[in-house]
Amino acid sequence: MSSGGVTSLVLTRMGGRPCAIPCEHVVEIIPRVQLDHVPEAPPEVLGVINLRGRVVPVIDMRARVSQRKSLPVYQHLVIVRAQNKQIGLAVDEVRDVVTVPDEAIEKPGDMAGVRSPGVVRIEDDLVLVLGPEDAYHVAG
């Protein structure tokens, strides 16, 4: 029995790589929608959406977390709250929600340019745990 806390994670795939986002930061998950282009935006900014009257930037971090040369078409947006703003993260798929003990999340530090809160083993996968600050850093 663990003496520490637990973290609930939304399991996704980004660029084919297993990733997770802590549920505490997830506002909602929506299917792929039409984006409005933002002129002169960085390549990671796919565009913006109107989400119930709020303009939400959509970020594609998949190239930063995957070594794939060509990325699959994203299928869902995971809307996260980062520094009092909402940001959409493009994901290939949303797989599940799991709960893991906090001590199961390893803290490897900077990886692939992403300041990840950690990596956790789920079944046979090493899953990169992304925090909302990673998306905010790209969007900000």
SS (H, E, C) 41-78: CCCCEEEEEEECCEEEEEECCHHHHCCCCCCCCCCEEE
- When divided into structural domains, the chain yields a total of 1
Residue 97: domain span: 6-139
Flag whether 25 is in a domain: yes
Flag whether 67 is in a domain: yes
pLDDT number for residue 101 = 95
Is residue 126 classed as helix, strand or coil in its secondary structure? Answer: strand
CA 67: distance to chain centroid? Answer: 16
Flag whether 58 is in a domain: yes
Flag whether 120 is in a domain: yes
Flag whether 1 is in a domain: no
Per residue in 31-66, pLDDT (tens digit) is: 999 999 999 999 889 999 999 999 999 999 888 888
CA 12: distance to chain centroid? Answer: 8
- Over residues 9-19, the mean pLDDT reads 94
Identify which of 131, 128, 139, 140 has the alpha carbon closest to the alpha carbon of residue 11: 128
Flag whether 71 is in a domain: yes
Flag whether 23 is in a domain: yes
User: CATH no. for residue 54?
Assistant: 2.40.50.180
pTM of the model: 0.85
Flag whether 78 is in a domain: yes
